[in-house]
Amino acid sequence: MVPIRGGPDGARDAGWRGTEMPTNNDRNFFLSTMPATGSDYVVALAVIGISTVLFVCAAVVATVQLAPMPAFIASYQSALAINDLITAVLLYSQFTILRSRALLLLASGYLFSAIAAIVHALSFPGLFAPTGLLGAGPQTTAWLYQIWHGVFPLVVLGYALLKDSDGGVKIKGSAGRAILGSSIAVAAAMSIATWIVTAKHGILPTLLSASGGSFTPILIGILSTLLFLSFAALVVLWFRRPHSVLDVWLMVVMCAWLFDIALSGVLNAARFDLGFYAGRIYGLCAASFVLAVLLFENVALQAQLSRLLGTLRRQVASERDYHS
């Protein structure tokens, strides 16, 4: 469980102030401003270590061809979209209090990833239609994957550059309008990208060959760029100290993101080989890490709030008895 920092006064203020700017003590109750401890690093490094060992094992046999499993793709994409959407909502809820631009950008990135997962699934050949929905062409799904896996590391990179120990630059005015604006911008960006890769797919470079869906040199170049962007986001996060708990787990996310791209886009040979499936499992893990920590944080906060309320009730009862 994520440890809760801060004292009872901070918890009481955080609960009574609603969406007002929190004090320094209140900030210690938020994942994006909660200082990372040694135990946070130990757990994160353990997860990265286990993931690395499994990655090496999968990389050796990444080109082994397996049977197409549309049900796996549908389940994976659905879980991915749900995880990213819930994470976006939780981050937006923290933004309404902290008003951090970095947090708003990160929440928008998770929302983009959720929408991209849905659109990617709809366009996937053989999942809902032989050639995919939305008027998808033979290269649509591949291009959507590149856009999806390129935007998110850019968002994390932007978050790392914007954030600081006090939550980064603040947004003044209505938090609701800021969230609505970011949501509209994300939906518009994804709509434009979808239109380009569907209606204009004929003018886009070929990423997958017609015979067997093997990767073209252009696709290898794009995937190499995605690996570089993901690694750059990881490095910038590492050097932008001090780290919050969110920063630490975003670094774990970017490691899983690197393994996802490497297995499903670089080390494998075609769709539906072992690397294709293993990479997507890493993608699901990447979508789950921050969500899991956010949920643990909420449960821990509720537990501490319950204890604080119990203490307050006992104090009120004691004072009432004393004065009576």
Task: For each of the domains in the chain, give its residue range(s) and CATH number, in order of start.
Answer: 8-323 (1.20.1070)
Torsion of CA 148, 151, 156, 157, to 10 degrees: 150
- φ, ψ (nearest 5 deg) of residue 147: -65, -50
Quote the tokens at residue 236. 């910038």
Rounded CA-CA distance 44/26 in Å is 25
Length of the chain: 324
What are the pLDDT tens digits along the chain (324 aa)?
344 344 444 433 333 344 455 544 445 678 888 889 999 999 999 999 999 999 999 999 999 988 888 889 999 999 999 999 999 999 999 999 989 999 999 999 999 999 999 999 999 988 888 888 888 888 899 999 999 999 999 999 999 999 875 556 688 888 999 999 999 999 999 999 999 999 988 889 988 877 656 778 898 899 999 999 999 999 999 999 899 999 999 999 999 999 999 998 889 887 888 999 999 999 999 999 999 998 988 787 778 888 888 888 888 878 777 776
Contact 280, 260 (CB under 8 A): yes
pLDDT of residue 1: 38
pLDDT of residue 220: 87
Quote the tokens at residue 265. 């886009």
Contact 144, 120 (CB under 8 A): yes
CA angle 76, 90, 155 (to 5 degrees): 70
Q: Is 244 helix (H, G, I), strand (E, B) or coil?
A: strand
Q: What is the pTM of this model?
A: 0.85
pLDDT of residue 213: 63
pLDDT of residue 188: 98
DSSP state of 65: B
pLDDT of residue 310: 83
Widest pairwise Cα distance in the chain: 88
Quote the tokens at residue 289. 């890490």
Quote the tokens at residue 244. 């919050």
pLDDT of residue 118: 95
Quote the tokens at residue 152. 């998110």
Residue 250: closest CA among 151, 120, 152 = 152
pLDDT of residue 28: 62
Residue 238: closest CA among 163, 293, 180, 289 = 163
- The single-letter code of the amino acid at 215 is F
